[in-house]
Every structure is written in structure tokens, then in C-alpha cells.
Amino acid sequence: MEPMSRPPHTSAPASDLPPEDLPPHATAEGLAQGDSAESEADDTVTLPELEDADEAAPASIAHGVDVIKSNIKHAPSGPGVYRMIAQDGEVLYVGKARSIKKRIATYTREAGHSNRIARMISLTATMVFVSTATETDALLLEANYIKQMKPRFNVLLRDDKSFPYILISGDHAAPQITKHRGARNRPGDYFGPFASVWAVNRTLNSLQRAFLLRSCTDSFYENRTRPCLLYQIKRCAGPCTGEIGHGDYAGLVKEARDFLSGKSRAVRERMASDMNTAADALEFETAARLRDRIAALSAIQGAQGVNPRTVEEADVFALVEEGGHFAIEVFFFRTYQNWGNRTYFPRADRSLSGGEVLDAFLAQFYEDKPAPRCVLLSHDIENLRVLELALAARMGRKVEVCVPKRGERRELVEHAEKNARETLARKLADASAQEKLLIALATAFGIDKKLRRVEIYDNSHIMGTNAVGGMVVAGANGFMKSHYRTFNIKDVTLTPGDDYGMMREVLSRRFARLKKEEAEGAAPADSESFPSRPDLILIDGGKGQFEAARQTLAELGVEGVEIIGIAKGPDRDAGRETFFAEGREAFKLLPRDPALYFVQRLRDEAHRFAIGTHRARRKKDFTKSPLDEIAGVGPARKRALLQAFGTAKAISRAALSDLEKAPGINAATAKLVYDHFNERN
């Protein structure tokens, strides 16, 4: 994000948060850095779990209004960002305004507010203000704060992964073409974004056939003595071994850049001309290679789906709403090609209009992404001109934001709307089916309350080694992968393979932490979105595992959580499971009961997750060197020791005098290494 023209100035009354509580993004440097952290969570974007806000009591609203009135005299008159904060320090809402004082004055009425606004006012205990130079700066800062703080009354963009790009590197004599995701720190030309890795891989394969650019790493390139397989199958020109000169290879790189920059027609015409010239000169092998390259370019454009004729570069946003849920479809068009689409389901109060949701969404979407020359919208938004100015300032060129009314631009928006409507319908149908399964599960186990959060636990180990516990979470929107947790078994007193002891440790750590978070107010048991406390936990194990879990929760004083144990059937046959619950005999479900299939799916997911985590840990141990355990010996000294002695075993057997003679190893390091292995022996 571009820095503001001058650093923002903070002003707040004495009752506000201290300056050190302001995040680093309140500075120009923080704005320039933005929020680039990306999780490793799954690409699936879940529907928001929203509840209708209850009408706030008049007395609470009056108290909140008094708080806001007391802050008005300290509020800046110019543009900036304001935060409404609850008694426990939770940020309730982040807003921006051309005049902060005038904006927050609109909250001082005690009547006429929607339920959402009334509840927000009633919970407000203090406010913090940040002045900015312009309203554009305020828009950028607001988006940054929302992404950092995730206030419950704002529209929240659920975006857990960055978009992939195609990179043609600029730091090597023979540039590499590769897929790139994350911070764009490497010199070169970036083309994108693409909506999915699949779209990038497909395009890369065709580009390699069309332009014969290398995809290998620089280290692989430097160590080649003969061309690799890609050269043999005509997907690389072979610059590593001089099969093509650097001058001719630079020509291929230029053609690839031109094609990805929108000059695809000129590139194809030039190739066609060269092919005809080669054919006239009876150079049929050269003509055939050019023919194949032209066919590869055609494959790229032919596989893109809807390709516009008059729109060279644009992002298309279409929002649809149904039953209080919102879906936003985003299509990416670059160089007259469709580079894919992605659907978002932002968390938003159902009282908001489509334009308000889209307005809040756009600022957060472009907070860490480059903008194209044109942004097409399905709804008019209040901050359209401000967004235009903000994006133009960041990109250093004009950016047009508009709601098209006719022509091909309008057709693109309508196409995106159709996709959004169909995707939301499928998502709602899936959510409805999941709700029915949760109801069936509660009925099957005799639970008389609504199941909002179900946790499934499983352990994995081999003879007690690399033991891990896995927690899988499911709710009304399916598996909630961002809530999954792994537990490395730490209790050294456990007998290897003690499944009961491992289950006790996992549940003790899980619920001890939950109780601590609830006591601190960080994890309310009755959250408005997805609760932190489970209604039901499923234990993948027999009666012994079930009893261990029940006793552990009883010792911790955890109440209101149902426990069900699942024992596999004879010969581990699915469909013949036995279930254990407190206060009743062991029982089975009917073979074709939908609840049984649901339980099997939950158990299989927990098993998959625990096994995968165990294998990853075991693989890490396989590749771990004994030198990794020596504190104070970094990568350079490890490398020097291995070069001098060959193996870690040889290092462990070396005499102190031999270690001291190793190049790059001083006496102190030699003593450290020697003592480590000899103490162990």
C-alpha cells in the first residue's frame, strides 16, 4: 500500500487507548507494508454464521450515546478513521469519514437506528481517532485496520490465500518463467492475478510450448552439462548448455512478455509470418516448430472461457444476496483473456444493502493486491470516486471504477452475476443439508440442543513414537479447517503407545486453554459467529477412550459438552460401529441411518488429519540431523563441519583437536560440539 502524503496524527481523549495500543499500520511505513500474511488454510470460503441482532435496551443505547458525545469534542474535523471500542477492549467497528466529527455525531441520536447500529452504540465504551491527510488515505487505512482487527460490526472479507502470478525473472541472463505466490520481491515481470493454481499451471504449460522458456531453478541451470528432458520434449530452448544463444533466447523472452502484456495478436502474426517464410525457403522443420508454437498460443486463448473482445484489462465484481447471505463473484480479465474467477462470501450484517457490502469489500480486497486499469461493478457504491483515487495513487496510473449499463462490459457483469447466483444457491443448499445432518446427529444421540460446533479427536503414532493428537471441527457450514488443531504429545511419563494417556493430555490441554480464554473474555462461550466451545465431542476409540475423555472433562469442571465414543465394528467394518455415551448402554445406529454416514465422514476426516500430521512429523525427524540439537551452531558452521568430516556420525566421533582444525570452526565452537556428543555418550 502506498504511504500517505504525511504521517497520520492521532488524537484521543484521556479515556481512550494509549498510543502504544495503536497498530504499526497507523504509520506511513506500516501503510506501505500492508498486511501480506497468508495462512495455509484450505481455499474453501465458508458462509458467514450470522444471527439477528437483538434490539438493544434503551438504557444501554443512552449510555453509548453519552460515550460518543463525550468523544465528539476531541474528534478531528478533517478526514480520518475512527474506532468504536467495547469495555473489554474489543474493537467493535472501524469507519472512515471526510469529517470524523460530523460522522460520529450521527450516532448521538437515541432512536431511528437499525438493530445493528443500536447494538454497536450500546456496546461502545470508548473511541479512538486517527487523522489522515485525505479521504483517500482514510479509505486505505480503514481497510488495513479492518483486516487487522476484524471488528464484528464491519463487513469482513474472508480471504485466506494470496493469488498466484506468472513471473518472468529479471535477475538472470537467461530469465526463468515460473509460478509465484506471495510478496513480489524478486526482480522481474509479474503477470496476473490468476484465480487458481490450476489456471496458472495450465497457462504455464502452454507458454513453455509456445516460447520455450526455462522453468528450472537457477542452481539447477548452473549445474547442467547436457540438456534436460524439457529440451527433448520441446518445452525449453536449452540455454543452460548453449543450445540457444543468449541473444536468441532474449528474443523468446521478449515475445513471451509481449504476449502476456496484451500484444498477443502481434506475436501470433509475427510467428505466422516467420512460419510462412520458413516454408517458402523449404525449411520445413523450422516451420513445423513455429506451427506447434502457434497452436500452443491458440490453446491458451481457447481454454480461457469467456474472452472479451473490447475489454483488455479489468476486474469484474458482481454481488448477489439471498436469505441474508451475500456472494461476490470476481472475474479477472487480462490481455483480452479470462484468467479465472473466485467467489467470496463476506461476513456482513443482513440489514446492509448490496451496495454497502460491495463498498466495504472492495477496499479490503485491493488492500494488498494490484488493481487493473478498469474495475467493473454490479452495484453503485458510495465511495466510488474515493476508491478510484486511492487505486490510482497506489498504481501510479489512472484506474477506472464504474457500473456499466450497456455493451460488452455490462455482459461481463451479468455473466459474473449469474455465476455468483448459482454458486450461492449451491452453498446454501450444502449448508441446509449440513444443518439437517447436525439435527439428525443430535436426534440419534439423544441430545436435546442445537449442535453448532462438533469436535472430533483422534491420536496417531507408531509404537509411541512421533505421537500426535488431532482435533477436527465441523459446523453448519461443513468442516471448519481454520479451527483444526494438532497436539504434539509432550508427557514423557507416558508409556509408549498409551492411547488413554494421550487422549487425556490432548483434552486437558484443549479445555484448559478454552477455560482460560473464556475467563479472559477472548473466547466467549456463546459467540455470535462460530462458537469456541463445542456442543459435542466425538472420540475415535472404544469404551476406554470414552472413559478417559469423560474423566478428564469432569476433573476440569467442563459442563454442557456431550461426549460420544466411537468403537470400530468387527474387522473394522464401516457401518457396524458401537457408540458409548454417558448414562446409557453401548448402542448401534441403523445401517442406513444418515447420522451414521455423517459420523463415519467426521471420523474419517479426523483420522486423515491425525495420520497426515503424524507422517509430517515423522518425515521431519527422518531428515533431522544431530547437529540441529546443538544450540549456537548455525547453518554455516554445520555446513563447514559436514564438509570437513562427511557425516554427522563422523563428527560425533571426532576428537576435540580434530574439530578445532576444521576450516571455519573456532575453538569455542569445537568445544561446544565435542561436549554435546560426549555428554550424550
395 falls within a domain: yes
Q: State how far the Cα of 437 lies from the Cα of 597, in Å rounded to an integer.
A: 9
Provide the CATH number for the domain around residue 638: 1.10.150.20
Assess whether pLDDT exceeds 90 at residue 402: yes
Residue 281: helix, strand or coil by DSSP? coil
pLDDT digits (tens, 9 = 90+) for 287-330: 777 777 777 666 555 444 456 778 888 999 999 988 778 899 99
- Split at pLDDT 50, 70, 90, the class of 522 is low
Give me the pLDDT at residue 58, please. Answer: 58
* Cell digits of residue 30: 506500516
Strand 465-475 relative to strand 177-180, pairing: unpaired
CA-angle at 58, arms to 56 and 60, nearest 5°: 70
Q: State how far the Cα of 637 lies from the Cα of 628, in Å rounded to an integer.
A: 11
Give yes or no: residues 460 and 350 share one domain: no
Assess whether pLDDT exceeds 60 at residue 47: no
Cβ neighbours, 10 Å, residue 480:
21
Q: Which residue has the cell 450521527?
A: 106
Give me the pLDDT at residue 471, please. Answer: 93
SS (H, E, C) 200-226: HHHHHHHHHHHHCCECCCHHHHHCCCC
Give yes or no: residues 606 and 643 share one domain: no
Q: Are 534 and 540 in contact (CB under 8 A)?
A: no
* Residue type (1 letter), 360: A
Give yes or no: residues 630 and 617 share one domain: no
Q: Are 136 and 390 in contact (CB under 8 A)?
A: yes
Cβ neighbours, 10 Å, residue 137:
28
Give me the pLDDT at residue 137, please. Answer: 84
Give me the pLDDT at residue 403, please. Answer: 93
434 falls within a domain: no
- Split at pLDDT 50, 70, 90, the class of 642 is confident
Give me the pLDDT at residue 457, please. Answer: 92
Give yes or no: residues 548 and 601 share one domain: yes
Q: Are 127 and 108 in contact (CB under 8 A)?
A: no
Final residue of a structural domain among 601, 621, 641? 621
Give yes or no: residues 393 and 542 share one domain: no
Residue from 109, 100, 106 nearest 73 by CA? 100
Q: Are 70 and 109 in contact (CB under 8 A)?
A: no
Encode burial over 558-582: b for 16+ CB neighbours within 10 A, e otherwise.
beebbbbbbbeeeeeeeeebbbbbe
Give me the pLDDT at residue 17, please. Answer: 37
Ranges of H-type helices in 303-406: 354-365, 384-395
Q: What is the mean pLDDT of residues 116-126?
A: 87
Q: State how far the Cα of 608 lies from the Cα of 610, in Å rounded to an integer.
A: 6
Residues 6+ apart with CB under 8 A from 529: 48, 49, 50, 152, 347
Ranges of H-type helices in 73-196: 100-105, 115-123, 135-149
Give me the pLDDT at residue 40, please. Answer: 35
Q: State how far the Cα of 420 lies from the Cα of 321, in Å rounded to an integer.
A: 9
Distance of CA 355 to the CA centre of its chain: 25
Give me the pLDDT at residue 7, please. Answer: 38
Bridge partners for 179 per DSSP: 166
pLDDT digits (tens, 9 = 90+) for 595-636: 888 888 898 898 899 888 888 877 776 666 677 777 777 878
Provide the CATH number for the domain around residue 536: 3.30.420.340
- Split at pLDDT 50, 70, 90, the class of 26 is very low
pLDDT digits (tens, 9 = 90+) for 73-94: 888 888 899 999 888 888 898 9
Give yes or no: residues 569 and 674 share one domain: no
Residue from 478, 506, 496 nearest 613 by CA? 506
- Split at pLDDT 50, 70, 90, the class of 680 is low
> Alpha-carbon Rg of the chain, whole angstroms?
30
Give me the pLDDT at residue 34, please. Answer: 36
Assess whether pLDDT exceeds 70 at residue 51: no
What domain range is 634 assigned to?
626-680
Q: DSSP code of 176?
A: B
430 falls within a domain: no
Give yes or no: residues 473 and 579 share one domain: yes
Give yes or no: residues 104 and 219 share one domain: no
- Split at pLDDT 50, 70, 90, the class of 54 is very low
Q: For the CA atoms of 350, 351, 355, 360, what is the dihedral angle to 10 degrees?
A: -70
Provide the CATH number for the domain around residue 346: 3.30.420.10
Q: Select the highest-mean-pLDDT range: 157-161, 195-199, 385-389.
A: 385-389
Bridge partners for 314 per DSSP: 333
Q: Select the highest-mean-pLDDT range: 61-65, 363-367, 452-456.
A: 452-456
Phi/psi of residue 445, nearest 5 degrees: -100, 5
Q: Select the highest-mean-pLDDT range: 160-169, 197-206, 467-476.
A: 467-476
Residues 6+ apart with CB under 8 A from 476: 49, 431, 434, 435, 438, 452
187 falls within a domain: yes
Final residue of a structural domain among 276, 302, 328? 302
Give me the pLDDT at residue 185, please. Answer: 81
- Write down the mean pLDDT value for the chain: 79
pLDDT digits (tens, 9 = 90+) for 318-359: 999 887 788 999 998 887 777 778 888 888 887 788 888 998
Phi/psi of residue 420, nearest 5 degrees: -65, -45
- Split at pLDDT 50, 70, 90, the class of 468 is confident
- Split at pLDDT 50, 70, 90, the class of 29 is very low
233 falls within a domain: yes
Give yes or no: residues 81 and 115 share one domain: yes
Give me the pLDDT at residue 679, please. Answer: 67
Phi/psi of residue 166, nearest 5 degrees: -100, 130
Give me the pLDDT at residue 265, please. Answer: 65
Strand 374-377 relative to strand 314-322, pairing: parallel
* Residue type (1 letter), 17: L
Cβ neighbours, 10 Å, residue 351:
13
Assess whether pLDDT exceeds 70 at residue 433: yes
Assess whether pLDDT exceeds 80 at residue 220: yes
Provide the CATH number for the domain around residue 18: 3.40.1440.10
Give yes or no: residues 504 and 525 share one domain: yes
Strand 91-97 relative to strand 80-85, pairing: antiparallel
Final residue of a structural domain among 594, 621, 648? 621
156 falls within a domain: no
Q: What is the mean pLDDT of residues 387-405?
A: 89
155 falls within a domain: no
Report how many domains make up the chain.
5
219 falls within a domain: yes
Q: Are 496 and 465 in contact (CB under 8 A)?
A: yes
Q: Are 441 and 454 in contact (CB under 8 A)?
A: yes
Q: State how far the Cα of 6 lies from the Cα of 118, in Å rounded to an integer.
A: 35
Give yes or no: residues 615 and 497 share one domain: yes
Mean pLDDT is lowest, of 183-187, 404-408, 449-453, for 183-187
Q: What is the mean pLDDT of residues 183-210?
A: 79
Give me the pLDDT at residue 319, please. Answer: 93
Give yes or no: residues 468 and 598 share one domain: yes
* Cell digits of residue 324: 441474508
Element (H, E) at 509: helix 499-520
Residue from 209, 155, 183 nearest 353 by CA? 155
pLDDT digits (tens, 9 = 90+) for 125-184: 889 898 888 888 888 888 888 878 888 888 877 655 677 888 998 888 889 989 888 777
pLDDT digits (tens, 9 = 90+) for 536-560: 999 988 888 899 999 999 998 888 8
Residue 5: helix, strand or coil by DSSP? coil
Mean pLDDT is lowest, of 61-75, 292-306, 367-381, for 292-306
Give me the pLDDT at residue 16, please. Answer: 38
